[in-house]
Structure 1
């Protein structure tokens, strides 16, 4: 029997305008809600990311983070 999708956990999340636009674009193309899109991404995190690329991009993001906060 397939696992039932129950969105029972809620958390406040802040994101940049670019991140929000990317999320809503992804959700629209996938024909799901943004909540369902985030659930999919986090449940399948290891299979939808390339660890080497993600590590490199995280380093770049962290290097510019203070500058972006200003």
Structure 2
């Protein structure tokens, strides 16, 4: 599937969807078009851009709090 992207210099191009993650990771584009709207990198949420998470693990905390304690 082809996706419309906008590069840092303001030019547009159509790229294969499997190139999108690399373009985002390498900071080569400022946005791309989704089916329903335009996405601006750094402003709108982008799936898979999390990297290493160093914060509190919400799921782990919930599991620990809800686990029964047996004495």
Instruction: Mark yes or no: TM-score above 0.5.
Output: no
TM-score where L is the length of structure 1: 0.25
Bigger Cα Rg:
2
Structure that is richer in helix per residue: 1
TM-score, L = length of structure 2: 0.25
Specify which structure has the higher proportion of strand. 2
